[in-house]
Structure 1
Amino acid sequence: MRLLHAETFKLKSFAGDATPPYAILSHTWGEDHEEWTLERIQAWEKTGAQNGKLWSALPNKILGCCRRARKDKLSYVWIDSCCIDKKDSVELGEAINSMFNWYQKAARCYAYLSDVPNGDIPPHPSSRFRLSRWFGRGWTLQELIAPKRVEFYNASWAYLGTKSELSLVIENITGIPRHFLKGAVPLHRASVAQRMSWAAGRVTKRREDIAYCLLGLFGVHIPMIYGEGDQAFQRLQREIMTQLHDDSILAWGLGCEDAGLDHADNLGRAAMAASPNDFADSRQIVPRQKDKAPLRPMDLFGGSLRLQACIITQPTGDMFALLHCGPTDDATQVVAIPLIHAHGGASEADEEYIRPRGRKAVLLPQSIATDPMSRAVTKDIFIRKDGQPMGSMTGPTGTQLYVEESDSADIYLHDVHPAGLWDEDAGIIEIDVPTDEEIKRIVTRFRSKRAGEKDLIIVLEVEKVPSPQLKCHLLTVDPAALSLVEISKNFVLLRTRALQSQSAKIGGRWLKANFTQSPAEHNMLFLCIDECPASGTSIDIAEEMAEMKLLQNLVQINSKHHRLTNVQSKFSGQISTHAGQLRTATRDVRLVSQEIRNLEDRLTRLQAEHQSLTLSLDFHRNRINAAKRKNHHICEVLDRVLDEIGIIGDTLVEHHPQSLGADQTLEDVFYSLMDKLEDRISANADVFGLGVRMETFQRAAAYYGDLDLLRLFVWGGFKSPFGQLLPGTLHFAVRGNEATIVQFLLQNQQIDADEKDDAGRTPLSLAASYGNEAICQTLLNAPGVNPNAVDDMLRSPLWYAAESGRVGVVKLLTKCGADVALGDSMGSNPLHVASQQGHEEIVRILIAAGATGTEMDSRGRTPMSLASERGLPTIVALLSSARFGSLPCDHGGGSPLSDAFDEVNPAMIEEFQDAGPDGNKADSAEAKEEERRLEDEVERIEKEARRLSEYKAWREERERIVQYARERTERTLAVMLQHSET
């Protein structure tokens, strides 16, 4: 193997394992004078070009290949144009037979596409990559498949992608499946037909190279004989047959058109394909599993292809050999190739066949081999590979009919069925002599050279009785009326008068067929159509067949009518007998139906009673189970109450002696408070949640300010849930604006002053939102309270106070160090919401506390922008007079102040101009603030009055509730004792 050094450009030969890693170039050849051959490289070396002065003389493909190899740290490259001595036939043959292996072992393969410009995108449907000459050359097929890695480069050696990266595009261009391109499936798994189809449409400079470029693809070797032309491809196929034994090598000539005997395409008459183009439609053909191994593999013997195959003969006379291969998408079909007997005879003992011209291979169902109508037989056959002309097929069992054109008749032979018996160029029809009692029928169509005339149909029949006899029948038909296949199938339907017709009328002349025998050859006949006198009646075969079909239909109708008449007479007596039986059965059915309806009604009543009893039983069972559960629960509660009642009494007397009045027990107070609270909870289920639980009682006690009951929960000394404060109690005290309860709860060590509810809000956030300054002050005085604690929306207590307009709370929070710049999840800080809601006093407080007014929210809006959007000129003036320094521009490119004056209406501008030096109407703002404070005070007084009224009513009902609690306890104890005795 001769390699080119990538830096010195010197050639060096290597043998076997001594070959170093190398890169290999795949390219398309230009004109011979443009390529740098071995001789030209060697001459270039002798000129002293190694000094670097003449390197620019090298072509771009060689320079780019060497440059790319050096980047890949490879010292040598192989380029077919300059690394093979093509004058040495031995070296050339060795190189061609080894080329697939060389590409396979290369460390890199560079595919140089000289006709693809810069900027081309291979996946694009209209890319130049898809139209490159490289994909249409024969040699580049193995250069694409053999290497593990192929890198594509354009004319400027710009990288386009690898074979793997562009596999989908390459598959669309070449038809080679991606799994073979990527090496996921070994190449030998592809059938011979598939591999041949990949080469279809590819071209080479020399005709022999279309065969030599495929050697590596099939792993075979043949000598190189330039000058033999297409014979090289025949030698390649013979070598493949010898080594691979794949029936798909015969699956050429498949096409989308019908392969019937009337087809006239010329595909040649040899056993093997003429070129890879014959496999263009065989890309999906794969081998089929054979039922058993053939006794003799496919081979060449005595000028013929010998193989074992299943031969079928269809009712139309078409004959096919079934191959062990078929399409990948339908496992029930196999490839069938057309055959005719090589000799005139049609005996099953005849083993020599010809693949006829004008007939393509077809796909047939595999089950046809077991169909009796197909007369299938499996045997060894010989298919002639040399394509002998039809005229050379002579023998004692066949006759050749030469059709001579007649000037007087002015007609010519247009078509023959079966088409495989007609050599159109020679004007010969091969007549097979039957070997049994069957009749061989050949239908010919002669067409007039005069427009508007009918066709002449001549039907030739050959039968052996006991010596071969030839019969002839002449008929006419319109050119477009019937095909020869239809005539052949329906010819037996014709009447005797049609079968005896020896002349026919075409136009205004009568014609007849004259047969003469060659004096030199007994099996050679001549047919000539001549004019004759008028005789008899000219029969149109289309009209005759239509009449015969009508007669057949009439006969069938008469036959059916006769059968129906017989059936009617046969069953008329039975009908009368069965009519009486039917009347009796109908009466019995009515009686039975009535009895069934009665039984159904009774069943319905019983089912209703059963359902009622079932429901009653379930109801009583549920009551019994509920009583059992209640009895068990009462026993448990009684035990726990008796154990703890002493502890509760001691604790209550110690911590809250005023809760017990004269002659009152702990039970009296506890039941009284719980019953009253239960009514409030039920009336406000939307506040406390559904169900009356201990957690609900604690929250309600905190919400309504019931300090007595709350102390029982805290100091009662009960086991869980008594004796501890449950989550959310402090939040409900804040919601009820109960400052006393809040102060009481904060004294308990179990309380977390910064506890968060489901929305993440702390008690301080709730108090700030409600505007309760006393509760806010109490919470801020509690240890560990964070004035900047945020909820799930990142909103702080100061944010809620500013948004709700709570001036006093805002002052309190700012004094306690609340962060005025702390924004929520949308970037909106307290100054944003105060400006947007028009809370002028709060805006002043926040500015005084250090709010800059320059921050923007997530939508790029400043406080001044928000005020201007809402039409609040007082706030705009207040913010503008605060002198925040350089005001930033929002996302729209304008400053807040400019946006304010751009967006407000004229009335707003006048109001702004009429404002005082501070940009607001002080008197109006102070009046509104005073009015708001008065409204809050009135609301607080009304609430206090309601609480005092409720407390007085509670005191009045105290004695009655205590008495009720005592009576209920006694009743409960009595019930429990009764259950215990039971």
Structure 2
Amino acid sequence: MPMIYGEGGREAFFRLQEQIMRTTRDDSILAWGLNNESSMSNFQLFIGEGIFIHGDILAASPSDFADSGQIVAREQASNPLHSLNIYGGTLRAYLPLLTIDSGETLGLLSCGPKSDTKKFAAIPLAKIQSAVANEYVRPRGSPSRLQPLPTSDASPELIHIKKDGQNHILATNQQYMFYDVDLFAKLGIKVLDVFPSICWDDQLALISQTGTDQILIRARQSKEQSLDFVIVIDGHRSDSPMDQLYCVFTCDQKTVLSEIAGKFQREALEVFQLTSASNGSLTLRIKLEPMEGNIISIIPEAMASPPHCTINATMALENLDTILEPTRFLWERKKNEVEMKDLSQRVEECKSQLGDIEEKRETVEKEIKLLEARKSALVEEEQSTIQEVRRLEEKQGDIRKRQTENFRHVVIVQKRLEEFYNAKSCGDGWTPFRLAMETSDIDLMNVLFDEPTDILAEDKRWTRWIIASIKGDVNEIRSLLATDETGLEHKDGIFGRTPLSWAIMKGHRDVAKLLLDTNRVDVRSKDNYGQTPIRWALDAGHHEIVRLMLLRDKPAYLRKFRGHMDLVRVRR
């Protein structure tokens, strides 16, 4: 079939396939790109992410049929003889549709391998939202496959498959760039690397721009020892895809993209504005063209003559400032001319506003004078307040000294009262120590205990045990048991009583039970007056507490206090 003037080989091959479909219903013409491994991993991945590029339903070149030579047509009784035809950019076909376990949809063709009659050729399909009923696309990068004949009959149905889906995408919440591998291959170059690599899907030839400041693409010519091409694209999204800022450089093959990344900032790209570069044997120009949705197509072109300037990024890294200087000078001259016009207009506007500004300045100066006067008054007030603070701090110091002296007198009084109560055979009268514990005055207790009277051991934490036991604070006792049990058997320095003794004296049964449950308290511990916890309980008539202690004591001690048990029974 002769080519039409101006028509490329790709378009001519499409036209040839359309002509074949008009004269025969052999749908083996769709079984191109056959992959015996039936790999659909790329298709599955991008369907799951909600985005993929529509491919062509027809083969782009004869090489796509390289693995389809063994495919022959087959007739099925259940498949009526409907011819394939293309109308309005859509291929109309009657195909049985099969959904396999992975969720993919396959269209079964009336053809298969000559050597295996139990297998049929199938093409991957993806349904799209369209005004046309049952409209599908063939995802790009999804090969045909050999599929066993399904156990259940699948009736053919009329579907529409978009013929050319190169400019269509699905799902659009990100910005992508797409490069056609075949277009690069025609120029003898191949995309080898992208930085950052996480943005690149080399199987689908897709590069994501989301969340990336700069993207670098390395393309290498098939010739050995030639310089690589590096496309540097600014990652900031612009209002229009046509406003993308990018430059084309060369670099040594050993230079990794991470060494170049970030070295050519946006200012440098604006200065260079180089959309083409030459490596000595090829002059490559790059164009960015918008596709449907949020995809930009990277189009490579070979130029007949080299550009006026090509920058080797590897060499430029060492002398970047020197290279930028002359280009920046010319660029700034043009920029300054534009700025001068803008400044001239602004000068005239400013002159017209000058009178208003002067009037406002005078008003501000009056306000400043008022503020200065206010400032002076505040400075005087500040100095006066500072002096008052110093005076009060000195007074606080005097009170602290007197307070220390008072605490010392309290210790002396405490000792005297202790001797007095002991001499008079009295209980613990309203002594300073008891007053401190009843009112939770830790400061007073610390002063009492800090004196060289051996009233307090080195660890003051046990005072919390004493105060909690006197008040019957169950929650405080639980908190102390959960963190530290070292104060269980500590005695106060005046009465020599443990927390258990104080809890029993006050009749706090719950606290006494908590302390007894630890099995670490001594119910026979004597205070400075020879009293044990069990004796305090008996004297106070706390029969339940006595029973609790006796039941938890050792058998030998139970026998020793059998008389106490009889006393409890009599009193009950």
Identify the structure with bigger relative contact order (alpha carbons < 8 Å, sequence gap 6+). Answer: 2
Larger radius of gyration: 1
> What is the TM-score when the length of structure 2 is the normalising length?
0.29
Structure 1 length-normalised TM: 0.17
